[in-house]
C-alpha cells in the first residue's frame, strides 16, 4: 500500500466507526436542549476515553481555545461587514462556521470544567454585573464603554469590589 492508500484506509476506518451506533450515538444529543453540564460531561468522557486528561491543563486548554478563536476569525477575515443571518453565505460556509463555533465552545466548556468553574452560573453573574455597569436608561442605543458613560456620573466601588455608576443628573 502507498502512503496515500494507507491514509484513505485510515479515514474509511474512522468513518465506519463513526457510523456504528456505539461510537456515534454517544455524541448525538437526545431530543432536548443540550446544557453546558451535558457538554461538560461529554467533553470529560471524551478526554478520559482517550487518556487526554494528562494534556488538558488550564494553560494547554486556553492555548487550544485561542487557536480555535483564530480559526473562527479567519472565516470572517476578508469578508468585510457580514449581515446578520449570513444570508449571502452558502451552506458549506455556514457549516464550517458552525464547526469552528463548536470548537470554541467545547474548549471553553472544557477549560471551565478543568478549572472547576460553573460556567452557566458565572455567565449569569456576569450578566447581572453588566446590567449594573450599563443601565438601560443611559446605554440604550449607545455603544460607549462604561468608563466613558461614567463621565456623566461617578464610578464607585461597592463591597464586592465591582464598579457602579452613580448619576448626578437624570438624562
d(CA 152, CA 144): 12
Q: Are residues 51 and 84 in the same domain?
A: yes
* Section 18-35 average pLDDT: 64
d(CA 151, CA 167): 9
Number of neighbours of residue 87 by Cβ within 10 angstroms: 7
Which residue, chain included where needed, has cell 446578520? 84
Q: Are residues 90 and 50 in the same domain?
A: yes
What pLDDT is recorded for position 152? 62
Q: Are residues 45 and 95 in the same domain?
A: yes
pLDDT band at residue 105 using 50, 70 and 90 as cut-offs: very high
**Which pTM does this prediction carry?**
0.70
Is 59 a member of any domain?
yes
* Section 5-11 average pLDDT: 64
d(CA 131, CA 133): 6
Which residue, chain included where needed, has cell 470529560? 44
Is 1 a member of any domain?
no
pLDDT band at residue 157 using 50, 70 and 90 as cut-offs: low
Contact 137/54 with Cβ under 8 angstroms?
no
CA distances from 21 to 9, 16, 102, 138 (A): 20, 10, 22, 54
Pairing outcome for strands 153-157 and 163-167: antiparallel
Q: Are residues 68 and 110 in the same domain?
A: yes
Give the CA radius of gyration of the chain: 22
| pLDDT (tens digit per residue) in 34-43 | 999 999 999 9
What pLDDT is recorded for position 35? 95
Domains of the chain: total: 2
Q: Which of 116, 138, 157 is the last residue of a domain?
A: 116
d(CA 171, CA 168): 9
- pLDDT higher than 70, residue 32: yes
Amino acid at each position: 500500500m502507498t502512503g496515500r492508500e494507507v491514509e484513505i484506509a485510515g479515514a474509511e476506518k474512522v468513518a465506519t466507526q463513526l457510523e456504528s451506533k456505539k461510537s456515534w450515538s454517544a455524541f448525538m444529543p437526545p431530543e432536548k436542549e443540550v446544557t453546558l453540564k451535558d457538554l461538560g460531561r461529554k467533553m470529560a468522557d471524551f478526554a478520559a476515553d482517550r487518556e487526554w486528561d494528562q494534556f488538558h491543563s488550564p494553560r494547554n486548554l486556553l492555548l487550544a481555545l485561542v487557536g480555535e478563536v483564530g480559526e473562527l476569525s479567519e472565516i470572517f477575515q476578508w469578508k468585510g461587514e457580514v449581515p446578520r443571518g449570513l444570508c449571502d453565505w452558502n451552506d458549506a460556509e455556514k457549516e464550517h462556521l458552525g464547526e469552528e463555533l463548536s470548537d470554541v465552545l467545547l474548549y471553553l466548556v472544557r477549560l471551565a470544567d478543568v478549572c472547576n468553574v460553573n460556567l452557566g452560573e458565572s455567565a449569569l453573574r456576569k450578566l447581572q454585573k453588566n446590567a449594573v455597569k450599563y443601565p438601560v436608561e443611559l446605554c440604550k442605543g449607545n455603544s460607549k464603554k462604561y468608563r466613558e458613560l461614567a463621565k456623566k456620573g461617578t464610578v464607585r466601588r461597592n463591597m464586592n469590589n465591582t464598579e457602579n455608576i452613580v448619576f448626578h443628573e437624570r438624562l
